[in-house]
Amino acid sequence: MIKALAILFYVKADDYMLPCLWKKNFGLDCLGCGMQRSFTLLLQGEFSAAFKMYPAIFTLIAMFATLLLHLKFNFKNGHKIILALFVTNVIIIITNYILKIT
């Protein structure tokens, strides 16, 4: 049942994904290219395929989950954790982009 819903969501989501205007105008991938497809793969349970599509997907989810929990519960060092996850995401995204264009 859950797999059928995930497939139905993927078909619907695939039809409504936003195009990358940077890629459309300049012919190059942007720093966020692959994030939407990676998220839909993640919802389908294809974790390794989601990572291969966009390696920062898991750290981005961790960062936003930590941010929401920090806003709700106000952790003592939550801002430091969020900052560390942010820097980690920037490094992963830029490294992935450099590897993609070379």
| Three-class secondary structure of residue 10 per DSSP | helix
**Contact predicate 89/62, CB 8 Å:** no
Q: What is the pLDDT of residues 65-74, one digit of tens each?
A: 999 999 999 9
Give domain limits for the chain.
Answer: 2-101
User: Which of 25, 28, 24, 27 shows the shortest CA–CA distance to 97?
Assistant: 28
pLDDT band at 58 (very low <50, low <70, confident <90, very high): very high
Q: What is the pLDDT of residue 5?
A: 63
What is this structure's pTM? 0.82
Q: Which amino acid is at 62?
A: A
Condensed to tens digits (0 to 9), the pLDDT of residues 22-52 reads 889 999 899 999 999 999 899 889 999 999 9
H-run or E-run covering 78: helix 78-101
Contacts of 30 (CB under 8 A, 6+ apart): 20, 22, 23
Of residues 51 and 1, more confidently modeled: 51
